[in-house]
């Protein structure tokens, strides 16, 4: 991170040179990150501006993903939209159907820029591509989901082999409890981590139409899928005290509970790796391993999280030439490496990943970060391991969260809670389909 910021300082000096002082084409880039991640993006934008003399990338934080999307929609209606917008992965269907975007593959082709689209990691590319495999947005800050393991606690309990399945993890949790470890698994409701990934890894449909990719007349299936048994398992863990439930606004997240050395395991995004690296007590060791699957299912890849960059319609040719130049710069292996090292997100291209391997980026304390990339690249992708392309996905996640809270509180049964969730979710999907009547996903 320090090297990255020093490079930015040098770039700022270059930007002050006479050659860089000529009038540049302004390109607005809105994003939905704050704090340290926002600082990294600002540095990244400074580096791009200093790398050439024709364009000025103006990068503005909108707060969070949802706010960025809503602000951009409002701006588009008044013809004040940014040229580039960072959109979280679950906004893909909305963006594709909006009629407001300039597809990435079309933009680059129109600008005469040759892109090695096959260089993008397959499971990342598939999430943002249409049915013909054409990318509509450029993958940017990408992550996926893993299991964080406190190896000091595993050693204390005499556990040598890492769990491959949730059932093996449960056996390990019981063994750790017997060894006097109070919190064997830190849990909080995270649909992105387990509702979606449980289906993806097992290659089981969460919804009809290949998880929504093949049409808007989609219905949810998770009340009778692998997820039903997954939720029942979690409920049993909480009832037995094997897992510790970190409720929203409880003052400590499950990731923080793991990072502070209080709990032995935690399932979450690789994006939390850097923070965990800083927080973990020095007398404890840890690593990440692939997210478990369930016994009886063949393992498949995890799906991508994070966000991608979309290009809006409504700009002149010179602006689009600059946008294409930025995307080209962004896709270079050295930029992929710099962004990954500065943020903890994973590179989106195979060449960027290879450069990180060759340069030793994954050595030392960051060695197990490789697990995230290998999870995304695991095996052959299928129509069901691309992820989900569902409308109003944020609302669907909220419904799952609400019903699981009721299940864990004991106010409804597992079956009744999930049945209610599916009914409510299907109503949301039906309204989404009505809103785009006559349209089809590309």
Q: Write out pLDDT tens, residues 36-64.
A: 899 999 999 999 999 999 999 999 999 99
- Sheet containing strand 265-269, strands side by side: 244-245, 186-187, 265-269, 145-150, 286-290
Distance CA 40, CA 8 (A): 10
Whether residue 328 is found in the same domain as residue 413: no
**CA angle at 128 for the pair 314 and 313, rounded to the nearest 5°:** 0
Whether residue 194 is found in the same domain as residue 247: yes
CB 199 within 8 A of CB 425: no
With the C-alpha atoms ordered 194, 199, 200, 202, is the resulting torsion angle positive or negative?
positive
- Share the mean pLDDT of the chain: 93
CB 211 within 8 A of CB 205: yes
Q: What CATH code is carried by the domain that includes residue 418?
A: 3.40.190.10
Whether residue 93 is found in the same domain as residue 236: no
pTM score, two decimals?
Answer: 0.89
Q: Is residue 441 assigned to a domain?
A: no
- Boundary-marking domain end, from 335, 369, 403: 369
At residue 22, the pLDDT reads 66
CB 153 within 8 A of CB 176: yes
Q: Is residue 380 assigned to a domain?
A: no
Whether residue 273 is found in the same domain as residue 408: yes
Token output for 368: 């197990």
Give the mean pLDDT of 374-390.
Answer: 92
Burial class, 39, CB count within 10 angstroms (exposed 0-12 / middle 13-18 / buried 19+): middle
The number of domains in the chain is 2
Whether residue 151 is found in the same domain as residue 292: yes
Whether residue 316 is found in the same domain as residue 298: no
- What's the start-to-end Cα distance of the chain, in Å? 39
Q: Is residue 153 assigned to a domain?
A: yes
Confidence of residue 380 (pLDDT cuts 50, 70, 90): confident
Q: Is residue 92 assigned to a domain?
A: yes
CB 172 within 8 A of CB 156: no
Closest among 395, 198, 364, 432 to 294, alpha carbons compared? 198
Q: Write out pLDDT tens, residues 140-176.
A: 999 999 999 999 999 999 999 999 999 999 999 999 9
Whether residue 171 is found in the same domain as residue 134: no
Token output for 123: 């499971």
Whether residue 285 is found in the same domain as residue 410: yes
Whether residue 167 is found in the same domain as residue 196: yes
Q: Is residue 376 assigned to a domain?
A: no
CB 117 within 8 A of CB 125: yes
Domain residues for the domain of 355 are 2-142+306-369
How does strand 138-143 pair with strand 305-311?
antiparallel
Output the DSSP codes for 145-195.
Answer: EEEEEEHHHHHHTT--SPPSBHHHHHHHHHHHHHTT-SBS-EE---IIIII
Q: Is residue 173 assigned to a domain?
A: yes
Closest among 51, 237, 264 to 149, alpha carbons compared? 264
Q: Write out pLDDT tens, residues 288-307.
A: 999 999 999 999 999 999 99
Q: How far is CA 332 from CA 120, 309, 337, in A?
A: 11, 16, 9
Say yes or no to pLDDT of 19 above 70: no
| SS3 label, residue 257 | helix
Q: Is residue 382 assigned to a domain?
A: no
Q: Is residue 31 assigned to a domain?
A: yes
Whether residue 183 is found in the same domain as residue 256: yes
Give the mean pLDDT of 399-411.
Answer: 97
Helix axis angle, 350-359 relative to 333-343, nearest 10°?
Answer: 70
Whether residue 185 is found in the same domain as residue 103: no
At residue 247, the pLDDT reads 82
Whether residue 277 is found in the same domain as residue 128: no
Closest among 83, 79, 87 to 27, alpha carbons compared? 83
């Amino acid at each position: 991170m320090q090297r990255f910021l020093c490079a930015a300082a040098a770039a700022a000096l270059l930007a002050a040179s006479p050659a860089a002082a000529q009038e540049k084409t302004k390109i607005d880039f809105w994003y939905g990150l704050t704090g340290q991640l926002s600082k990294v993006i600002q540095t990244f934008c400074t580096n791009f501006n200093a790398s050439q003399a024709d364009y000025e990338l103006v990068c503005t934080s909108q707060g969070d993903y949802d706010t960025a999307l809503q602000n951009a929609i409002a701006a588009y209606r008044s013809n004040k939209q940014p040229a580039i917008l960072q959109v979280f992965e679950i906004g893909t269907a909305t963006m594709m159907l909006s009629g407001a975007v300039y597809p990435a593959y079309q933009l680059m082709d129109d600008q005469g820029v040759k892109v090695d689209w096959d260089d993008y990691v397959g499971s990342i590319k598939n999430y943002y591509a249409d049915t013909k495999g054409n990318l509509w947005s450029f993958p940017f800050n990408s992550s996926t989901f893993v299991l964080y393991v406190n190896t000091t606690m595993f050693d204390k309990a005499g556990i040598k082999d890492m769990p491959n399945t949730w059932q093996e993890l449960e056996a390990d949790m019981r063994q750790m409890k017997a060894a006097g470890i109070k919190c064997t698994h830190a849990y909080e409701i995270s649909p992105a981590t387990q509702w979606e990934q449980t289906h993806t890894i097992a290659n089981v449909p969460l919804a009809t139409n290949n998880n929504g990719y093949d049409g808007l007349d989609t219905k949810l299936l998770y009340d009778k899928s692998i997820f039903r048994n997954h939720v029942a398992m979690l409920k049993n863990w909480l009832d037995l005290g094997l897992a510790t439930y970190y409720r929203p606004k409880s003052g400590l997240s499950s990731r923080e509970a793991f990072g502070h050395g209080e709990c032995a395991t935690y399932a979450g995004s690789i994006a939390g790796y850097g923070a965990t690296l800083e927080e973990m007590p020095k007398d404890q060791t840890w690593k990440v391993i692939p997210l478990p699957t369930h016994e009886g299912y063949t393992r498949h890849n995890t799906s991508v999280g994070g966000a991608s960059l979309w290009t809006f319609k409504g700009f002149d040719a010179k602006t689009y030439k600059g946008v294409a130049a930025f995307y080209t710069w962004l896709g270079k292996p050295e930029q992929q490496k710099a962004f990954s090292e500065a943020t903890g997100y994973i590179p989106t291209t195979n060449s960027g990943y290879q450069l990180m391997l060759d340069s030793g980026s994954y050595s030392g304390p960051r060695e197990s970060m490789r697990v995230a990339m290998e999870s995304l690249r695991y095996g052959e992708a299928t129509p069901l391991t691309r992820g989900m392309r569902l409308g109003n996905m944020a609302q669907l996640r909220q419904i799952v969260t609400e019903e699981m809270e009721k299940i864990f509180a004991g106010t409804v049964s597992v079956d009744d809670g999930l049945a209610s969730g599916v009914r409510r979710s299907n109503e949301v999907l039906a309204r989404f389909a009505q809103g785009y009547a006559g349209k089809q996903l590309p």
